[in-house]
A and B are shown apart, each in its own frame.
Chain A
Amino acid sequence: SAVISQKPSRDICQRGTSLTIQCQVDSQVTMMFWYRQQPGQSLTLIATANQGSEATYESGFVIDKFPISRPNLTFSTLTVSNMSPEDSSIYLCSTRIGIEAFFGQGTRLTVV
């Protein structure tokens, strides 16, 4: 199994600023995934992060808005840049070991 520590758990940010979310995994993993979940909605994949290469973004998400770092096999960050109220959401990181996926507790972001 894997335990993912994600922080911050929540934040309230001013529009136009940026927030960096961190995820630490208790074991080395090949891929990490970043999701967004808006209130009452399902999870939407933002991007896939592989150590040593640029992240792969899903349709509708761009690197300038959501830059991702993956400096080693246990850590990743997602930055939400130039935030607007529409970015208010829960952001989750995830990884997979074997047949299971594991998720962080999520970061509840409110942009005012």
Chain B
Amino acid sequence: LAKTTQPISMDSYEGQEVNITCSHNNIATNDYITWYQQFPSQGPRFIIQGYKTKVTNEVASLFIPADRKSSTLSLPRVSLSDTAVYYCLVGAPMGGATNKLIFGTGTLLAVQP
């Protein structure tokens, strides 16, 4: 499974847009990129997944350049409740029920008032 590198922590203020970048230089052709969010005392929660270009849902956007060696999770207008750890994962087609998830270090996002 491709290894990922993300900043350990980031700080932001309410109402700002936050961009968290993840490097995955060894990503394979069949790999997808998925982001999860984890609050204290809870299990991780799926945010968004993509293969290339841009994906957007009601929570976030995911930008993936053509070489796919990095990706950026964009959170629009963060609030205090977005304070959490964000994990970037890269792996084989996520549609398969046998695929295990290997978590990297994650990025602790702290949103200030």
Give the B-binding residues of A (Cβ under 8 A). Answer: 4, 29-31, 33, 35, 42-45, 48, 92, 94, 96-106, 108
Contact B49 A99 (CB under 8 A): yes
Of the candidates B34, B43, B46, which one forms a contact with A106 in the assembled complex, judged by CB atoms under 8 Å apart?
A: B43
Q: Quick one: which of B34, B42, B95, B98 contacts A30, CB cutoff 8 A? A: B98
Main secondary structure on chain A at its contact with chain B? strand
Is B99 interfacial (CB 8 A cutoff)?
A: yes
Binding site for A on B (CB under 8 A): 32, 34, 36, 41-46, 49, 87, 94-95, 97-106
Give the contacting residue for B101; candidates A29, A101, A106, A108; CB below 8 A. Answer: A101
How close is A11's CB to chain B, nearest CB, in angstroms?
A: 15
Complex interface: chain A residues within 8 A of B106 (CB): 42
Can you list 9 A-B pairs with a CB-CB distance of less than 8 A? A30-B98, A31-B98, A45-B103, A100-B46, A101-B36, A102-B46, A104-B43, A105-B42, A106-B42
Report if A30-B101 is in contact (Cβ < 8 Å); known contacts: A43-B44, A105-B42: no
